[in-house]
Amino acid sequence: MIPVQGFDGHKVAVLGLGRSGLSAARALRAGGAEVLVWDDNPGAREKAEVEGFVTVDLLRAGVFDDIACLVTSPGIPHLYPQPNPVIAAALEAGVPVDNDIGLFFRSLGGDAWDGFDRAPKVLAVTGSNGKSTTSALIHHILTAAGRESQLAGNIGRGVLDIDPPGDGGVVVLELSSYQTELARALTPDVAVFTNLSPDHLDRHAGLGGYFAAKRRLFAEGGPDRAVIGVDEVEGRFLANQLAEGPGDDRVIRIASGRKLAGPGWMVFARKGFLAEWRKGRQVASIDLRDIKGLPGAHNHQNACAAYAATRALGLSPRDIEAGLRSYQGLPHRSQLVAELGDIRFVNDSKATNVDAALQALLAFDRIRWICGGLMKDGGLEGLARGLPHVAKAYVIGREADRFALGLPGVEAEICTTMDRAVAQAVAEAQPGEVVLLAPAAASFDQYDNFEKRGEDFAARVKAALGQAG
């Protein structure tokens, strides 16, 4: 645990008692704060009370009169589309609002670090797509190379639940826009921006607000090194703002599908090969084409980001390549769940938006595509480049008819349920094809989350193939 500093003897309120909320409450108490907690869910309140926390309705009149800070969970709106009533009350009362990420950065470190030969580092990853894979890949590469590493934030453990890092240890954080937008302290040593595509626009009042939330990690965090994906104009703009000139190697530009040029530090993947260039010369190259845990151009971009980040921490190209080759992938992200002869079954349930699904479609040549769910704003036009790879679509979800209408030129069968979609895809798949779950939509019309959707897909595939779970 990382005890929260700065609130010893003060009252702090915690709103939302999920993983991050309870973790923050424990860490605040460990740091000497008097913690008051609230969640609209009675079951969550009961769980907190069992741990000895005092539950207080934070909408009660006068409750913020002596509160030093309100700590809120990332899923609770604090600005758009409108603030949660409790957060609105805190804003009205002038009480600072923070989250567990802000508490972590203000509390990390201590006297013990004075005796370390190498100070611990924090490496933070944000972006629209690929940040979970990139974070897990960085953690894996570091661990495989013998470096102490902990994975936390939006993946792995709650950020305040981790152990204090040891000599030379690295904390790898995956950070969502919800987390970076609100955190009052953001001071990573290395920060990574993977890419940007429209997502969570209601929470940020549009694409500009969404990008601004990501940008805070760099503009306010002031990392020693920034790894920036420059395949979109927002990334190119961010890299330009951070660098003092073309040769400033505090900024490492990364790209997928094209070569980068110039005097700076660059890592890019092209035709399946990753290349590192510095000062106009190539210094390393890795063949990514046969790495099963990283299929497709989108995963090659993730590999570039992880390579650049770990190079910024001092790892050698040889050690990084060994880590890339031993990486098995994350569940629900281009996850190979089964094979039947020359037919592969891939679970990419995390592809909840159009851009992520497009990258999954582009990763394979001939696809039996299971798609659909709760559609997001913006339509399906962004999938156009990937549709020629689709042999047939099997559409699930309550909006299956509407979804299928957005797939011009694609043979689409309205299946509605995962059970029927998998059964049809298994029956019709031919050698050399991939049965791919890449929904391009949220899961909440039929599942609690994308993980449950992916687990259902994998279980039904294995049942259809007669394999043990």
Shared domain for 43 and 154, answered yes or no, is no
- 419 shares a domain with 284: no
CA-to-CA distance for 222 and 245, rounded, in angstroms?
17
323 is in an annotated binding site: no
Whole-number pLDDT of residue 110: 79
Inside any domain, residue 468: no
Are 315 and 402 members of one domain? no
Which residues have C-beta within 8 Å of that of residue 192, sequence separation ≥ 6?
Answer: 123, 124, 125, 126, 127, 131, 134, 226, 227, 228, 305, 308, 309
Asked if residue 133 belongs to a known ligand binding site, the reply is yes
Q: What is the mean pLDDT of each run of 10 residues along the chain (469 residues)?
A: 96 95 96 97 96 96 96 94 96 97 93 89 94 94 97 90 95 96 96 90 90 94 95 96 94 96 96 96 95 86 97 97 91 89 94 91 94 89 96 96 95 97 97 97 93 96 81
Q: Looking at residue 295, what is its pLDDT?
A: 83
Q: Give a yes or no: residue 313 inside a domain.
A: yes
Shared domain check, 150 and 128 = yes
- What total of structural domains would you count in the chain? 3
127 is known to lie in a ligand binding site: yes
- Tell me: do 250 and 123 sit in the same domain: yes
The angle formed by the CA atoms of residues 301, 253 and 147, to the nearest 5 degrees, is 70
Does 55 appear as a known binding residue?
no
Identify whether residues 266 and 172 lie together within a single domain.
Answer: yes
Question: Which of 80, 98, 116 is the last residue before a domain boundary?
Answer: 98
The CA dihedral of 359, 392, 372, 408, to the nearest 10 degrees, is 80
Q: What is the pTM assigned to this prediction?
A: 0.82
Distance in angstroms (rounded) separating the CA atoms of residues 16 and 7: 19
Task: Return the bridge partners of 335, or none.
Answer: 347
Q: Which of 190, 161, 155, 135 is nearest to 74 (CA)?
A: 155
Q: Is 310 annotated as a binding residue?
A: no
**Residue 218 and residue 23: Cα distance in Å, rounded?**
26
The answer to the question of residue 5 being in a domain is no
The reply to whether 57 and 136 lie within a common domain is no
Question: Which pLDDT does position 331 carry in this prediction?
Answer: 86
Q: Is 222 part of any known ligand binding site?
A: no
Last residue of a domain, one of 75, 98, 121: 98
- Domain final position from 50, 70, 98: 98
Domain-located, residue 208:
yes
CA distance 249 to 260: 14
273 and 341 share a domain? no
Residues 344 and 418 in one domain: yes
- Do both 80 and 174 map to the same domain? no
- 111 in the same domain as 93: no
**Per the domain annotation, does 3 fall within a domain?**
no
Contact (Cβ atoms closer than 8 angstroms) between residue 395 and residue 404? yes
Range of the domain at 141: 107-326
CATH number of the domain bearing residue 157:
3.40.1190.10
Query: According to the model, what pLDDT value does residue 40 have?
Result: 94
- Please tell me whether residues 267 and 127 are part of one structural domain: yes
| CATH number of the structural domain spanning residue 361 | 3.90.190.20
326 is in an annotated binding site: no
What is the 8-class DSSP label of residue 157?
B
